[in-house]
């Protein structure tokens, strides 16, 4: 595991009425190497309510981050908010006085990573003929192909 900042909670600091904890974990917590179509370079923000329930610690709240992800349709990198508002953990108090929630929060975020991501519902994607990103620019391919001009051009060659 990494040696960077971790989310440590001292059990004695929780108190009878519980404790509210918010803050952020650095992007390196992801332990994901940035690759071409996925970039996790923003911290993970968390907002948690921590209470002691008999011999356990109950953690509820939400975690959120912003990643850059390639759009499945136009392949452009876009910001994508990743949010889990159902963070819920139940940690048994054993001998230690401090609990480490870093891995829990990391998993809460990883579990809600989108399988599919479209930058916008109206994303036009790429031209299937020339690969132009149609959100940025138009091309004449569909015009040419739809009207059968491509065949006219071949005919002009008199093969």
Instruction: Indicate the pairing of strand 56-70 with strand 77-92.
Output: antiparallel
Residues 21-60 that bind Zn ion (CB under 5 A): none
CA distance 99 to 9: 5
C-alpha distances in angstroms, 93 versus 9, 16, 39, 56, 99? Answer: 12, 15, 36, 5, 8
For residue 82, the surrounding DSSP H or E stretch is: strand 77-92
Nearest to Zn ion of 39, 104 (CB atom) = 39
The single residue among 48, 101, 119, 126 that binds Zn ion, judged by CB under 5 A, is 119
Check: CB of residue 89 under 8 Å from CB of residue 63.
no
Nearest to Zn ion of 21, 77 (CB atom) = 77
Residues 56-85 that bind Zn ion (CB under 5 A): 71, 73-74
The single residue among 11, 91, 112, 123 that binds Zn ion, judged by CB under 5 A, is 123
Nearest to Zn ion of 29, 132 (CB atom) = 132
Task: List interacting residues with Zn ion (CB under 5 A).
Answer: 71, 73-74, 119, 123, 127, 129-130, 132, 139, 141
């Amino acid at each position: 595991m990494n040696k960077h900042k971790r989310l440590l909670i001292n059990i004695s600091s929780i108190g009878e009425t519980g404790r509210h904890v918010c803050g952020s974990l650095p992007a390196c917590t992801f332990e994901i190497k940035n690759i071409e179509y996925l970039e996790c370079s923003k911290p993970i923000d968390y907002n948690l309510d921590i209470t002691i329930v008999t011999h356990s610690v109950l953690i509820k709240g939400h975690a959120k981050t912003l990643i850059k992800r390639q759009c499945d349709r136009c392949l452009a990198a876009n910001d994508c908010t990743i949010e889990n508002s159902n963070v819920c953990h139940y940690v048994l108090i054993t001998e230690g006085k401090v609990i480490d929630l870093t891995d829990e929060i990391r998993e809460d975020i990883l579990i809600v990573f989108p399988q599919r991501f479209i930058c916008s519902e109206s994303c036009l994607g790429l031209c299937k003929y020339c690969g132009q990103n149609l959100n940025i620019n138009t091309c004449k391919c569909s015009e040419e192909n739809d009207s059968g001009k491509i065949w006219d051009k071949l005919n002009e060659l008199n093969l």
